[in-house]
Amino acid sequence: MEIIPYQEEHRIFRASFRKFLEKEIIPHVDEWEEDGIVPRWAWKKLGDNSFLCTALPTEYGGQSADFLYSAILIEEMAKANFYGLSARLHSDVVVPYIQQFANEEQKKKYLPRCAAGDMLCAIAMSEPAAGSDVAGIKTTALADGDYFILNGQKTFISNGINCDLVIVAARDPREDNSHAAVDLFLVEADIPGFIKGKKLKKIGWRSQDTAELFFENCRIPRENRLGEKGTGFKKLMTNLQQERLICAIGAVTAAEFMLAETIRYCKEREAFGKKLSQFQNTQFAIAEMAAEVKIGRTFVDKLIVEHWQKCDIVTDVSMAKFWITEMAWRVADRCLQLFGGYGYCEEYPIARAWRDIRITRILAGTNEIMKIIIAKSILQ
């Protein structure tokens, strides 16, 4: 029995996206991983086929689709064993800030281009000395007449090279309250003073263009602040539930993929005259991983439904984000071990899956931060 009440239109959408990936994306993945970036045309094809920003109202170029469509997109991309094309960040993390908090003129200016794949988005929170600690950011936004002047540095910014529009978290240097000092600003990539730094070389997610961003006396219009003064921290906390759920969905799907690949391999590979699947050690490892993956999937599907129904599940999502990403890492490591030396070779999918899953324990708030959130909720 399915926990998520998928309808026929959801199943058709899943099949359509899967075919799109097989035809347009997967054949190019090795090339993009080598190049360290996904070309813009791939984003444009996603937009042309209505696979970006599906939740947006039709008046802004979206499909007015429910969150289940987003979950499907995230799952199918994870099944493809590819994270370089960070559409989930663009569509389900960054664009919702514009949809919820921008004025109508800005929505009409930006959202249709985001849905079409003509404008790519990023969000700039992390800094060299402030990752999960948003209140500790140093980037400043100083009011100056009809403008704000931004100064500071951001790092680990996904879509940092390809982005056309960035939502920047910055603080008012005149405000003593660290939380009330934070605001969010819309910054276009071609504005003077906005500098894209080097593309960071990473262990995994190699074709995902992660970069440093710099703001040097970058003047942006006053109306480009999202919402009222001092509300940036609250806005960030409001949308983190969805961001962390997205991370958990991707991680549990990746675990399912890795387990399926390993089962197939163990049924084919022979050692000492027997299939690997015939050894008790293999059987116990597969049984243990299968149980953990099933538990993770059941939990995630429950949260997908509750989030879709607009429930406040911040604590449960924090639990899912930390436990499922830890579980997926355990599965990755055990699966690679069962592949033996072949698992360490790039020609086998488990190698990329193993190095790509590691970052999920860090991004969207480290798992240590998740435990703090959970503990505060339980012990308050």
Phi-psi region of 66 (alpha: psi -120 to 50; beta: other; left: phi over 0): beta
67: CB partners within 8 A, 6+ apart: 55, 304, 307, 308
Q: Which residues partner with 186 through β-bridges?
A: 167
Q: Which residues partner with 364 through β-bridges?
A: none
Q: Give the rounded distance of the alpha carbon of 321 from its chain centre.
A: 12
* C-alpha to C-alpha distance for 59 and 274, rounded to whole angstroms: 61
- Indicate which residue of 33, 75, 127, 243 is catalytic: 243
Strands 147-157 and 140-144, by their bridges, are: antiparallel
243 is catalytic: yes
Strands 274-275 and 165-171, by their bridges, are: unpaired
- Whole-angstrom CA distances from 58 to 65, 69, 111, 158, 211 are 9, 15, 10, 27, 32
- Whole-angstrom CA distances from 275 to 10, 269, 344, 345 are 39, 6, 20, 21
Contact yes or no for 256/293 (Cβ under 8 A): yes
Count how many Cα atoms sit within 13 Å of the Cα of residue 69 in the half-sphere of its side chain: 20
Q: What is the secondary structure of 200-258 as a DSSP string?
A: PP-SS-TTS--EEEEEEEEEEEGGGB-SSTT-HHHHHHHHHHHHHHHHHHHHHHHHHHH
Q: Which residues partner with 168 through β-bridges?
A: 124, 185
* C-alpha to C-alpha distance for 79 and 108, rounded to whole angstroms: 34
Contact yes or no for 50/63 (Cβ under 8 A): yes
164: CB partners within 8 A, 6+ apart: 113, 118, 119, 120, 121, 188, 189
The catalytic residues are: 243
